[in-house]
Structure 1
């Protein structure tokens, strides 16, 4: 008798409910409403004040016993697609919101955010059977792909969607193995979770000296735009940015070029011109005191994160960057280790509690 194998969906991950809600929220850059609602629900009632600025970033403030003001920033937007044209046959043509790998777009299920609600679509392109040998070697351009919503005409499609509607992949949160989990949009829902969770934990303990403002920034993926206005509004004395950083513990990653970083190795702390040396050293000290393992990354340029905008806000802000190790960045299936994420939260709390009244960097 042949033994049959039962294929089951991976068990639900042991991820914090707050993080899971953020990942379920659809929030491409400039369309972050769903993620803002999650932040508001989870954080507003526990903060001393809560506001949303003109660019859609959330500011949750926890008052301290004095100065300095510490800004914690993680962006709540994700990659997306934007509808640009509807064909006579009802197919939707699109462009990218953020930096997509075009080779991974086709054949995906997407949710389109419309005025009438969310509708499902499928990204398509010409099948490989209908391509010449030369075409098979090429990555399709955006105008060579489309979204199929099952419409039979332009008129029918435009009854359901509008030019300018945004879409995101539907790949949700699942366990991979042990503490490893997979989802779209860990970049940077995990960072937005970390800064807000740190504020919630600070709220539960003894009042810290520093005023802490957890900012869930908007529009990072299209140029760190939300961080520009948020840093101006907060006017911090010191800032920590939390974003994902490349784990290079997979095949085809040249450590001579990209450094050696692994999932489960702890937060990645960046050094370089974008990072204030005093803030970096304080992070290292806090990690050592709290027995948190960290990994060190060198970046010779302004980083591709909100840190680049916050550092040069107003008359300059001493800024640090804490990375969450992540595999397969900007794909529909990003992978992190929940232990690394928890270590990041603990490090943020330790840093905030290390600040003394009137301290400056």
Structure 2
């Protein structure tokens, strides 16, 4: 897969709204794309979209997961003047999005509003003044302006619990410096693009492989816990962004990152060793890291006792859970490494 093709696939996925628990827009596309590749595909009760690649042997099973849900906002209350009180859905902050257009996913139709923080031309008499000078802005201090009545919002199906996401025209990715992709929700639409590429490229895996576009990861890894509770999985590899920060030895570029530990526990060292060997055989550069403020489908499923062995393979990403930047070569190298791992030595 060329970097241009990879960019186009990620762009398509990013523009499909999929806030945690309201993921049907991307579900239909993924089911169609997997089935078009001739792969056995279904969606389970938890909302996971699963593609199955039968192996030469059925004695072992591998799951590769990439979550399809994105962080966003959720409506807490609707005021009489049409303003929406909102709270976070997943780990994000209002200043990450800034004031601007958001899409409100009503039950009947999509509406647009403006994420608002209040005017700047104010004095100490205004309650907003403290956010300009002294206090971090919190979700409780923001709102979405709709300029619609409560009745009009109700007619569109906007209610407490409705999801709100960054407006689509603000989400469209662009190329940065040629080899980088920049946009919201690379976490984890780029990982889903990897799953699609694997479904297309893996020809004859050594053993059974499940490609799982997991649901509701950002709100507790609900999808993968459901899947691994019902399906026996011997190994699980979670695909993720990997944060670039001064506290971690992770550099931007085309080298993927293999984690040894995160905030939920240690990953399986034997599985990690096999992945390191596969990377060496393929000539894929690999970075190694231990993270603290982080978790994945893999670490959560293993900590819950649902899988015995898990790993997490990531692509270095700047501004995680914000306007993210990642090297397309790192994403492509994840595909190459996992394909080689699934197919084994030739």
Aligned residue for 2:257? 268
Q: RMSD of the TM alignment (CA)?
A: 2.2
Query: Which of residues 38, 42, 53 is equivalent to 2:44?
Result: 53
Cα gap change, 1:99/1:42 in structure 2, threshold over 3 Å: closer, same or farther?
same
Q: Deviations over 1:35-75 (max 9, x none)?
A: 11221121123254211111111111011111321100010
Query: Which of residues 157, 162, 165 is equivalent to 2:162?
Result: 165
Residue 354 of structure 1: CA displacement?
A: 2.1
Residue 312 of structure 1: CA displacement?
A: 4.1
Aligned residue for 2:82? 90
Q: Deviations over 1:187-241 (max 9, x none)?
A: 1111122123212210xx3x22211100011111111111101112331111111
Q: Which moved more, 1:164-173 or 1:15-24?
A: 15-24
Query: Which of residues 99, 105, 112 is equivalent to 1:107?
Result: 99
Q: After the TM superposition, which parts of structure 1 deviate over 6 Å for at least 4 consecutive aligned residues?
A: none
Structure 2 portions without partners, runs of 5+: none
Aligned residue for 1:334? 324
2:270 counterpart of 1:278: yes
Could you tell me how far apart the structure 2 residues matched to 1:355 and 1:32 are? 37
Cα gap change, 1:316/1:162 in structure 2, threshold over 3 Å: closer, same or farther?
closer
Alpha-carbon contact 1:47-1:62 (below 8 Å) kept:
no
Could you tell me how far apart the structure 2 residues matched to 1:355 and 1:215 are? 24
Cα gap change, 1:70/1:167 in structure 2, threshold over 3 Å: closer, same or farther?
same
TM-score (norm 1): 0.86
2:289 counterpart of 1:293: no
SS class of match (1:116): coil
Q: Which moved more, 1:100-109 or 1:183-192?
A: 100-109
Matches within 5 A, 1:56-71: 56-66=47-57, 67-71=59-63
Could you tell me how far apart the structure 2 residues matched to 1:279 and 1:117 are? 46
Cα gap change, 1:175/1:33 in structure 2, threshold over 3 Å: closer, same or farther?
same
TM-score (norm 2): 0.89
Q: Deviations over 1:285-321 (max 9, x none)?
A: 11110000010002479x5111122224556321111
SS class of match (2:258): strand
Could you tell me how far apart the structure 1 residues matched to 2:131 and 2:62 are? 53
SS class of match (2:194): helix
Structure 1 portions without partners, runs of 5+: 1-12, 357-361
Q: Deviations over 1:161-183 (max 9, x none)?
A: 23321111122211222111111
Q: Deviations over 1:221-275 (max 9, x none)?
A: 1111111011123311111110101123xxxx3xxxx222122141100113531
Alpha-carbon contact 1:231-1:313 (below 8 Å) kept:
no
Query: Which of residues 203, 225, 230 is equivalent to 2:227?
Result: 230
Aligned residue for 1:5? none
Aligned residue for 2:12? 21
SS class of match (1:88): coil
Could you tell me how far apart the structure 1 residues matched to 2:238 and 2:273 are? 15
Residue 341 of structure 1: CA displacement?
A: 0.4
Aligned residue for 1:7? none
Could you tell me how far apart the structure 2 residues matched to 1:35 and 1:84 are? 24
Residue 336 of structure 1: CA displacement?
A: 0.7
Aligned residue for 2:342? 352
